[in-house]
Amino acid sequence: MLPAARHRALLQHLANSGQAGILELAAALDVSDDTIRRDLKHLEAQGLLTRSHGGAVLADMHALPRTARDAVLPEEKEALGRAVANAIPPDASLMLDAGSTLLAVARALRGPHLVVTHSLDVAQALSTRPEIRLVLAGGEWDARQRLFRGAATVDTVRRYRVDLAILGACALHPRHGLTATEAGDAEVKRAMQACSSTHWLATDHLKFDTLAPHAVAPLDDFTRLFCDRPFYADSSASLPAGLAQTILDTAGEQTR
């Protein structure tokens, strides 16, 4: 297995379990303990994990820059992107949030659509697509999160009225709903919701049961949640009545 593929597999294993020992990782990837130690050192230098005595713990996703978070669960994010894109009605007008899952939505999107976004990566992915009418909500550039924010960004978003806002999650909590790491990002998310008729949310399970400092919206503000695992591990708990959950797994797409 090539190092890049091994690193992806190692991060996938940690994403599933949260933490793992060197012997466990070596057996799972069928490589030597020394190889795992070198891999852990390399990935720790990128800020993707923290080495512990005899193993490693996945890094706090909130603390990572956007480019580092992109390396975690790439296949799940691409699958989520395809599922979201396939569910969008023809000729819909959209607000697309920033983040790697929303970038996967943009890659899979088939127009015609009007798309308003504050993500430079999403805009670049759509910039050569003649069937997409693209609006980039520019403003103050946040290089760490790879998005625009601030008054100019919010003002551009507020000039449009669209059918659907599709947001990603920094953190998603059963009681506190969607929260964001940065105040500027939260402000843009709230503006996107205010200017759209319907709200969807797309996120991976690493954001579940976590809380970031800046409030965005409660769960009952959304009508669809796209995720790679059920939001509630406890089967007795339930989502708000108006929120449908689309779960992706190795068997394909399931809706609950």
What confidence tier does 68 reach under pLDDT thresholds 50, 70, 90? low
pLDDT, residue 169, reads: 93
User: Which of the pair, 12 or 94, is modelled with greater confidence?
Assistant: 94
What's the pTM value of the predicted model, to 2 decimals? Answer: 0.79
Q: List the CATH number of the domain containing 22.
A: 1.10.10.10
User: Which of the pair, 58 or 124, is modelled with greater confidence?
Assistant: 124
- Whether 43 is in a domain gets the answer yes
What confidence tier does 250 reach under pLDDT thresholds 50, 70, 90? very low
Q: Which of 59, 83, 103 delimits the end of a domain?
A: 59
Task: State mean pLDDT over 247-255.
Answer: 59
Distance separating alpha carbons of residues 102 and 77, to the nearest angstrom: 8
Q: List the CATH number of the domain containing 212.
A: 3.40.50.1360
pLDDT, residue 58, reads: 78
pLDDT, residue 75, reads: 85
Q: Which of 12, 29, 59 delimits the end of a domain?
A: 59
44 and 122: one domain?
A: no
Q: Which residues pair with 147 in a beta bridge?
A: 119, 142
Please write the tens of the pLDDT for every residue from 14-25.
877 778 888 888
- Whether 9 is in a domain gets the answer yes
123 and 210: one domain?
A: yes
User: H or E stretch including 115?
Assistant: strand 113-117
- Tell me phi and psi for residue 228, to 5 degrees: -95, -5
Place of tokens 């005899």: 54
Answer yes or no: are the C-beta atoms of 93 and 111 closer than 8 Å. no
pLDDT, residue 251, reads: 46
Q: How many CB atoms lie within 10 A of CB 87?
A: 16
Averaged confidence pLDDT in the chain: 88
Q: Which domain holds residue 238?
A: 74-255
Task: State mean pLDDT over 163-182.
Answer: 94
106 and 212: one domain?
A: yes
What confidence tier does 253 reach under pLDDT thresholds 50, 70, 90? low
Answer yes or no: are the C-beta atoms of 246 and 87 closer than 8 Å. yes
Place of tokens 């005595």: 53
- Whether 68 is in a domain gets the answer no
User: Which of the pair, 237 or 215, is modelled with greater confidence?
Assistant: 215
pLDDT at 180 over 60: yes
